[in-house]
Amino acid sequence: MPYSAVELASNKELQNEVAKLLLSECTQQDEISRLLAVVGAKQAAHPAAGEAYAAAAAQGGESSDDSSGYESDPEREVELMRALEEKVEIYSRELGLDAEKTLRKIFRLLNLYIQHYKLDVMDALLERVEQVCRARGKGSVWYIKYIQMLGFCRWKQYRLREALALFLEQEGLIGDNSILCENIGHTYSSLGDYEKAREYFTKGLALLGADGAPGRQAGFYYGLGLATDRLGSTRDALPLLHKALEGYRADRVDPQGLPVDSSIHAKVESSIGHMHEKLGDYEEAITWLTEALRVFRKTVGNESPLTATAVGSLGKLYLERGNVDAAQPLLKEALEGEVNKDAFQVDDTFTMINHIKNLHTSVPNTTLASLHKAYAQYVGLLQKAVDRAAPLLKTPKKGDVAALYKTCGEVFLLAGENQIAIKVLTEAVAGFKETTQIDCSGLIDGCNQLLQIGMQMAQKEKENQGGRGSGAPPTNPH
């Protein structure tokens, strides 16, 4: 079961240790830098953080809606997307939104949107076509296509229960169907109902039959492998995942008989990598995750959330193995991907920032000036994370947003951005005070101590600037 950001941040043992350190060591700037390094290292070492990250990463590629994502040219598909958008507007204006020709173009465009995770524009287009499809009647092809595509969109937006309801409605309308069994199975798996997931995967495999295409069989073996792992049998899951990968690779080959790269290959390779990571086979895990990242970059491009997740997985593994030089550019790229996702996820972003917080604090003989320089490169991304999370302060996710803000505040302090840190930490305190599902008193104390540090540092910076005189060069360029 993945942990939320507020649950990860509220570790009592961690908060007590941090409070003691703050009270005893926060009087000198060089001590502050070491203190924040300890905060970062301790939080990243909390075992639940790794579980949450692995669960989020494994969840990233389970829907079968884009299992046909074979080797493609991402730039060409973006051009095709733009051309289809123009045609949809022309046909809507000249033929009407309910014309068959218009609807065919719309759903072709929606298919491209879902493959490229363009979820905001997809949602808007689905809303635009909703009444037209409903007017055709629940038994119509266009209504069934509509609820299927809406289900895919909700799945990618992590609105899994809504997706499940739509897939089950579709099942009620069309009856038993192997493809639908696969989608329902993956949704149950992501909701944590692994026995129900296995039931649907097994049923779908039986409906498909022994003569089913290798790529179709592979989808069920993939789902069964993931569910088996989540039920606690990671070693038993690996053969199922390898069988899935073998089926996907056999499904489409080039004239020389070699597999054509596909994003679905990379998804299975990522899952195999995560299984090896759980089993402690780290070098094997790095090998599989590196290959998955290569295939994702080739088939869906660098901007896809699939690529961002793969980049983060590999960066996190390098960090855990102590290879900071290899981890740093990957984790920075992954954070950029997280803050730019249409379906922004507070918990995933929180986890990524915690990894980044550890990158530079583990360097021996670190000074405050070197920390400022090292963390300055993340300030823009952190500010975007704060802005993206702000609307969620008015939702039940406000505790997770507060946890994200606390972590961002720590990194802002490490970057020397004291005023920004004070503002964000103040908002974190307000969010924690309104959170009732978990005891946030330790988190509030931690924020208040960090606020005290931030105000100390801001005051000292102000005094230094005032004492230099008009002719003295600034010591801090920002």
Which of 260, 285, 300 lies at the terminal end of a domain, its last residue?
Answer: 260
Residues 6+ apart with CB under 8 A from 346: 5, 389, 392, 397, 400, 401, 404
Task: Say yes or no: 188 and 244 in one domain.
Answer: yes
> Which of 444, 361, 442 lies closest to 402, judged by CA?
444
Residues 6+ apart with CB under 8 A from 301: 74, 75, 307
Task: Say yes or no: 161 and 83 in one domain.
Answer: yes
What pLDDT sits at residue 6? Answer: 61
SS3 content of the chain, % helix, strand, coil (to 5): 75, 0, 20
pTM for this model (two decimals): 0.73
> Which of 268, 290, 257, 357 lies closest to 40, judged by CA?
357
What pLDDT sits at residue 22? Answer: 29
For residue 24, tell me if it sits in a domain: no
- Pseudo-torsion of CA 470, 474, 475, 478, nearest 10°? 140
What range does the domain containing 255 cover? 176-260
Task: Say yes or no: 76 and 162 in one domain.
Answer: yes
CA distance 104 to 92: 11
Which of 171, 192, 223 lies at the terminal end of a domain, its last residue?
Answer: 171
Task: Say yes or no: 193 and 232 in one domain.
Answer: yes
Residues 6+ apart with CB under 8 A from 182: 64, 200, 201, 204, 219, 220, 223
What pLDDT sits at residue 195? Answer: 95
CA distance 329 to 32: 26
| Total length of the chain | 478
What pLDDT sits at residue 278? Answer: 96
DSSP assigned state of 209 = -
Task: Say yes or no: 156 and 206 in one domain.
Answer: no
Q: The tokens of 68 are what?
A: 């046909």
- Count of domains in the chain? 2
Task: Say yes or no: 196 and 231 in one domain.
Answer: yes
For residue 187, tell me if it sits in a domain: yes
For residue 251, tell me if it sits in a domain: yes
Contact 193, 184 (CB under 8 A): no
pLDDT tens for the chain, 478 residues: list them. Answer: 455 666 556 554 434 433 332 233 333 344 444 444 434 433 333 322 222 223 223 333 333 334 444 455 667 888 889 999 999 999 999 999 999 999 999 999 999 999 888 999 999 999 999 999 999 999 899 999 999 999 999 999 989 999 999 999 999 999 999 999 999 999 999 999 999 999 999 999 999 999 999 999 999 999 999 999 999 999 999 999 999 999 999 998 999 999 999 999 999 999 999 999 999 999 999 999 999 999 999 999 999 999 999 999 999 999 999 999 999 999 999 999 999 988 899 999 999 999 999 888 776 767 888 889 999 999 999 999 999 999 999 998 999 999 999 999 999 999 999 999 999 999 999 999 999 888 999 999 999 999 999 999 898 888 877 655 444 444 443 4
For residue 194, tell me if it sits in a domain: yes
Task: Say yes or no: 150 and 76 in one domain.
Answer: yes
Q: The tokens of 140 are what?
A: 């119509």
- Pseudo-torsion of CA 450, 453, 457, 463, nearest 10°? 130
Q: Report how far apart, in Å, the C-alpha atoms of 208 and of each of 68, 215, 388, 465 are.
A: 17, 11, 43, 73
CA distance 231 to 77: 38
Which DSSP helix (H) or strand (E) runs through 188?
Answer: helix 178-190
Kindly report the CATH number assigned to the domain that includes residue 167.
1.25.40.10
Task: Say yes or no: 86 and 134 in one domain.
Answer: yes
CA distance 290 to 266: 10
Which of 146, 171, 196 lies at the terminal end of a domain, its last residue?
Answer: 171
User: Which alpha helices (H) appear in 5-116, and where do they start and end?
Assistant: 5-9, 12-25, 29-45, 47-59, 74-94, 100-115
What pLDDT sits at residue 4? Answer: 61
For residue 283, tell me if it sits in a domain: no
> Which of 317, 308, 405, 399 lies closest to 355, judged by CA?
317
Tokens 């330790």 locate to 442
- Amino acid at the residue 288: W
For residue 38, tell me if it sits in a domain: no
Q: DSSP secondary structure string, 384-421?
A: HHHHHHGGGGGSTTHHHHHHHHHHHHHHHHHTT-HHHH
Task: Say yes or no: 141 and 203 in one domain.
Answer: no
For residue 113, tell me if it sits in a domain: yes
What pLDDT sits at residue 438? Answer: 87
What pLDDT sits at residue 327? Answer: 96
Task: Say yes or no: 139 and 192 in one domain.
Answer: no
For residue 444, tell me if it sits in a domain: no
Q: Is 70 helix (H, G, I), strand (E, B) or coil?
A: strand
> Which of 366, 439, 450, 461 lies closest to 408, judged by CA?
450
Task: Say yes or no: 105 and 121 in one domain.
Answer: yes
Task: Say yes or no: 149 and 127 in one domain.
Answer: yes
